[in-house]
C-alpha cells in the first residue's frame, strides 16, 4: 500500500496511465473515468462504470503480459524488470486528494529506464534508429516480437521502447488489443 505525493515524483503521461518515477522505479497508475485527460481512450460518452471496467481490463492485459514473459531470457533482456502490481492508497497533489482520477487498484511497478521513449512502429519504420541499435546491442526486433507472440503477448502494435547508446527496452505491451473488448455505444 502506497500514498503517492505527486510532487515527490517525476511524471510521464500516457493516454491510459500516468507513470510516476522515483529512485529508479516507475509506477504505471491507470486513470479513471474522472481523470481530466483521457485522450480519447476513456469512452467518456458511455458511463463511468463501463469505462472504468474497460480500463481495468486494459491494465490486466498488461500485467498478464509481464507474467507470461517472466521466464524468457530474451525478453528479460529487452523489457524493464517487473516488480508486480502495487495497490495505491491515495494520490495527493499539492495537498489536494485527487485519488478519484485514478483506478487505485490498477497500478504496477517496473524498473525505470533512462533514455528516449518512442513508439515501436516509429522505430521499426526508421532504419537509421533501428539498425545501429540492433547491431550495437545484438538483437533483432523481429525476433523479439516473435518471442512475445510465442508466449501469448499478442499486442505490441502500440508499444513503445526506451532506447539509448546502451539500452533498448520495450514497454507498454499486452496480451490483447483493447479494441477487442472496448465498450461500444448503444450495446450493453
Ligand X SMILES: Nc1ncnc2c1ncn2[C@@H]1O[C@H](COP(=O)(O)OP(=O)(O)OP(=O)(O)O)[C@@H](O)[C@H]1O
Q: Which residues are near ligand X by CB under 6 A?
A: 12, 14-17, 19, 26, 28, 80, 110-113, 117, 158, 160, 162, 171-172
Q: Which of 27, 42, 172, 173 binds Mg ion (CB under 5 A)?
A: 172
Least CB distance to Mg ion at residue 12 (A): 12
Least CB distance to ligand X at residue 146 (A): 22
Residue with nearest beta carbon to ligand X: 14
Contacts of 140 (CB under 8 A, 6+ apart): 134
Residue 112, binding choice from ligand X, Mg ion, none, Cβ under 5 to 8 Å by partner class: ligand X
Least CB distance to ligand X at residue 41 (A): 7
Check: CB of residue 148 under 8 Å from CB of residue 156. yes
Q: Which residues bind Mg ion (CB under 5 A)?
A: 16, 172
Amino acid at each position: 500500500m502506497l500514498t503517492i505525493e505527486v510532487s515527490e515524483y517525476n511524471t510521464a503521461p500516457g493516454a491510459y496511465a500516468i507513470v510516476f518515477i522515483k529512485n529508479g522505479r516507475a509506477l504505471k497508475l491507470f486513470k479513471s473515468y474522472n481523470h481530466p485527460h483521457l485522450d480519447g481512450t476513456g469512452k467518456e460518452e458511455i458511463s463511468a462504470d463501463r469505462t472504468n471496467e474497460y480500463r481495468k481490463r486494459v491494465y490486466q492485459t498488461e500485467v498478464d503480459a509481464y507474467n507470461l514473459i517472466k521466464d524468457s531470457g530474451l525478453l528479460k533482456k529487452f523489457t524493464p524488470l517487473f516488480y508486480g502490481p502495487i495497490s495505491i492508497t491515495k494520490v495527493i497533489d499539492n495537498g489536494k486528494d485527487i485519488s478519484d482520477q485514478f483506478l487505485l487498484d490498477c497500478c504496477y511497478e517496473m524498473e525505470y529506464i533512462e533514455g528516449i521513449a518512442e513508439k515501436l512502429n516509429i522505430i521499426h519504420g526508421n532504419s537509421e534508429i533501428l539498425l545501429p541499435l540492433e547491431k550495437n546491442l545484438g538483437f533483432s526486433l523481429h525476433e523479439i516480437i516473435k518471442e512475445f507472440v510465442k508466449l501469448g503477448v499478442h499486442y505490441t502494435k502500440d508499444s513503445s521502447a526506451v532506447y539509448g547508446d546502451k539500452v533498448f527496452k520495450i514497454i507498454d505491451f499486452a496480451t490483447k488489443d483493447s479494441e477487442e473488448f472496448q465498450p461500444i455505444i448503444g450495446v450493453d
